[in-house]
A and B are shown apart, each in its own frame.
Chain A
Amino acid sequence: MTDTPAPAAEPRPATAALALGDDALVLSHRLGEWAGHAPVLEEEVALANIALDLLGQARTLLSLAGDEDELAYLREERAFRNTQLVEQPNGDFAHTIARQLYFSTYQHLLYGQLAAAEGPFAPLAGKAVKEVAYHRDHAEHWTLRLGDGTEESHARMQRGLDALWRYTGELFEPVEELPVDWSALREGWLSAVTAVVERATLTLPSGPQNGAWTAGAGRQGIHTEPFGRMLAEMQHLHRSHPGASW
């Protein structure tokens, strides 16, 4: 809880670690909400598995920035640096899959770049990219099944893609300290998502990927309303016992 601060000679890459760590932490939490509610038992296993991978990544990343529990449980909404996409409520299964498709494709390409570059994130990215490849595969297969399944699943999947589209622009706002080619990331993401959406007989949403009101907002600590409530639930027990260890 009260870790000794890092030596001044090696400044922690806190901004980037928090941005990536918060993305993983918050999405993991949302996926954890599915436990006991999934449409089929295999998805209980799969969603929990993805949530666990993300939580593992979050712990490694937050530990680069400080104490993982202090950062997860004692920051308030305005101090979180995750994108607004990952904090969006689960909605129905198609909504969750749309969020997974957008995010896991992004994370897979991002970690691919980070793993290939030098820097403090390369070891984590090298390990996590294998996990994320599985998450992406899972999201792509479900996008295909739902998009090209029944009329109802097609409509629901399209609604999920449409509803979350406006949160995708923020994924490509450059994050300080990260050796990433952001425009290549955006292009790679767009072509990958387009290919899956088309194969799934769905339509790529046409609205803006972000607006003045949302550009880079999550990364600056400006979140959407459901996020505060999510944090209240996540943090309440930890905050009720200051200084306790668990």
Chain B
Amino acid sequence: MTTMAPDTGAQDTAGYEAVFDAAVAAEERIEPRDWMPDAYRATLVRQIAQHAHSEIIGMQPEANWITRAPSLRRKAILMAKVQDEAGHGLYLYSAAETLGTGRDELLDKLHSGRQKYSSIFNYPTLTWADVGAIGWLVDGAAITNQVPLCRCSYGPYARAMVRICKEESFHQRQGYELLLALSRGTEAQHAMAQDAVNRWWWPSLMMFGPPDAESSHSAQSMAWKIKRHSNDELRQRFVDICVPQAASLGLTLPDPDLRWNEERGQHDFGAIDWTEFQEVLRGNGPCNDQRIGQRRRAHEEGAWVREAAAAYAAKHGKATA
């Protein structure tokens, strides 16, 4: 968006609002200095922060296997991926900061449980194949969710997503390729791959959020063009993408109700266990305490390092630090 809000006086937001609405309707980008409704700003802060937190917490389940990766090639790929995730977290915190919040404040909200991260990262990585299942399914679901965000009405977020989606697609292909190697490997490797898919399939479908009927933020986010498609629409799209991929992997998806529906031209699939989803969101998933505990510990144990850097910068000026 290039036009600034009209100067109609601080009390009269109606004029600003009309300009904002027109810009959104015309598919223009809202930029940090543009006027925006408070609720739009708050929604974006919440969503971008949660997205950044997910990248940071999401490093843990995968980093869990860095020291045990079974070949040097796989180890290098996994390290690069976890490094990318830290980088994505940094982009996203920067995008959130354009809305007038700070990274420290957001991290504080993550550590105190006032802001959330994706429920998927509360599941444990129990075997090497889980690294592949995360790449294929979890990153696959993330991409399905995030590609439309490249057209999100808020410019800084949309631009961050363009960069992030490129790297995520690469990770997703690597995850698929990891599973394919296992699936075509020894019997034990194949079984390991199938077991991982069995455990990650349903949690991946939950990544799209509650059913449309119960999604509290959806309607407004769609009107603001932050969101482009409903949760259920994206979930359906993801299932339709995964079914043929599973077949070419030589693996099955753990859903007896999954079948092609000729009439709809889409797959029907079984009911999601929303009770489990709610429990995980409430903090009662398998790894919630462990994940947030590790994040808090890293932050607390690193406090003296950050203090040292600040003290040094104060003495010597930022340029030499």
Chain A residues within CB distance 8 Å of chain B: 25, 29, 32-33, 35-45, 48-49, 51-52, 55-56, 58-59, 62, 68-69, 72-73, 92-93, 141, 144-146, 148-150, 152-153, 156, 233-234, 236-238, 241, 243-246
Contact = CB atoms under 8 A, between A and B. Distances in A.
Nearest to B321: A145
B86 A238 contact: no
Contacts of B80: 48, 52
13 contacts: A25-B72, A32-B67, A36-B82, A41-B56, A44-B82, A141-B321, A144-B312, A145-B321, A153-B305, A233-B67, A244-B189, A246-B70, A246-B185
Contact of A36 (B60, B308, B311): B60
A36 B63 contact: yes
Main secondary structure, interface of A, reads: helix
B interface, how many residues as a size bin?
35 or more
Nearest to B76: A55
Interface stretch (B12-20, B163-171, B238-246, B296-304): B296-304
Given A37-B298, A144-B312, A244-B186, A45 B83 contact: yes
Given A148-B312, A149-B312, A234-B67, A40 B302 contact: yes
Main secondary structure, interface of B, reads: helix
Contact of A41 (B63, B86, B297, B308): B86
Nearest to A63: B72
A149 B185 contact: no
Contacts of A141: 321
B68 A236 contact: yes
Contacts of B307: 149-150, 152-153
A149 B309 contact: yes
B59 interface: yes
B59 A36 contact: yes
Given A38-B302, A246-B181, A153 B308 contact: yes
Contacts of A149: 307-312
